Amino acid sequence: MSDQHLSPANVMVLLQRGDGRILAVRHNDKSKTSANQVTVIGGKLEEDEFIDEGELHEETGVRVAASDLEICQTVHYRGPDGVRVIGAVSTAQRWQGEPCNAEMDKHDAILWIDPCNPPTDCHPYIRKALANFMTGHLYGNITVPASGGGA
């Protein structure tokens, strides 16, 4: 019998406007995992956070009530470092506040992206999660090799 493996938890929120576009951020060149790439709002959960308390307010200044979050996908991600992360992806169409770049030290900009046609500099993990979302897949295994490409 092997030892139990513990995976970090990652949350993503697909904040979606009426026109279908999703709120995203463009990371600056200081990011360790997604330098100069577009990602949706999210990140690894910190010790004292629950799934509905992820990065949304930290990154964009908006708040979403837990009752307005709808889990739309579970992902199991293996990054270029080999670490496997379990992720919960939620969608929300209602929020409080006006989205802004609340982490100017980490992000160059916020933008609204088309989930069917994400920007070419979209992180491969996010690109696959968006494709799963658009096709209604409720689960996905996502691998991003050291080369930075997605599979």
Residues 33-78: tens digit of each pLDDT? 788 999 999 888 888 888 887 788 889 999 999 999 999 999 988 8
3-state helix vs strand vs coil in the chain, percent to 5: 15, 35, 50
CB 151 within 8 A of CB 131: no
CB 9 within 8 A of CB 46: no
* Fold (CATH) for 9-143: Nucleoside Triphosphate Pyrophosphohydrolase (3.90.79)
Phi-psi region of 72 (alpha: psi -120 to 50; beta: other; left: phi over 0): alpha
Say what the pLDDT of residue 146 is.
56
Q: Could you tell me the pTM of the whole model?
A: 0.86
Find residue 54's DSSP bridge partners. Answer: none
Residue extents of the structural domains in the chain? 9-143
